[in-house]
Amino acid sequence: MILLVAATEMEALPLADKKFRQPHECFIAGVGPLETAVRLTRRLSEGRRDISLVINFGVAGAYAGSGAGLLDICLAESEVLGDFGICHQETVEPFAEQLVSRAVFLLESRYLAQAGAILGEHDLAWNKGIFVTVNGATATAKRGAMLRAAHNGLCENMEGGAVARVCEEFVIPCLEVRCVSNMVEDRNLANWQLAAAVQKCGQAVSLLVDNIVLF
């Protein structure tokens, strides 16, 4: 079975009542890394034997200069905890190694390769790169530029690192798919394309659920 993990009901709505070729379950994990980690851990503790793959999906903000633009589909090569550390005005200094094991999590490369091939076969363009998980959504171009430079980030979100870490703990492969709803800039909701991004992400995830080969 494929467990489809989204932060909100809105992001999961395009998949509601859809019938797929493969067994699946849609799970709402909540907004932010803390709520996501708690809810997903509880779900997997209740039963994970039938889950072959977790697909984490939703919207994201793309960093200027990363190569991703509005309504682009993005696939995660890795997740990094972007603002976990000592936060100065213009930098985030990592904690000493003895305080934390690590803040970067690799996603399953075999499923990443499959996902790219499937989207390409259906003429759906995509980007791949490093996703940055933040505790608070970036609201200024200056902070976005800092996070982009610090991590070579493609886009940011608030749950991906938590999903990747929990899946690692339960030894379940994880794939992350997001669609860019906004650029990371001085916050201006008039520039956002949230509804369109939700629909396009749902389209991409539907293709993957129907066509991906589970290992």
pLDDT tens readout for residues 167-212? 999 999 999 999 999 999 999 999 999 999 999 999 999 999 999 9
Report pLDDT for 85.
83
The chain-wide mean pLDDT, for the chain, equals: 95
Average pLDDT over residues 101-128: 96
- Cα separation, 60 vs 57, whole angstroms: 9
pLDDT at 68 over 90: yes
- The answer to whether the CB of 56 falls within 8 A of the CB of 5 is yes
Angle at 43 between CA 37 and CA 45, to 5 degrees: 95
Three-state secondary-structure class, residue 60: strand
pLDDT tens-digit series, residues 11-21: 999 998 888 98
- Cα separation, 107 vs 88, whole angstroms: 29
Domains of the chain from N-terminus onward: 2-211 (3.40.50.1580)
Residue 148's nearest CA partner among 131, 163, 127 is: 131
Report pLDDT for 153.
98
Report pLDDT for 86.
85
Beta strand pairing status for 24-28 and 73-81? unpaired
Burial of 16 (0-12, 13-18, 19+ CB in 10 A): exposed
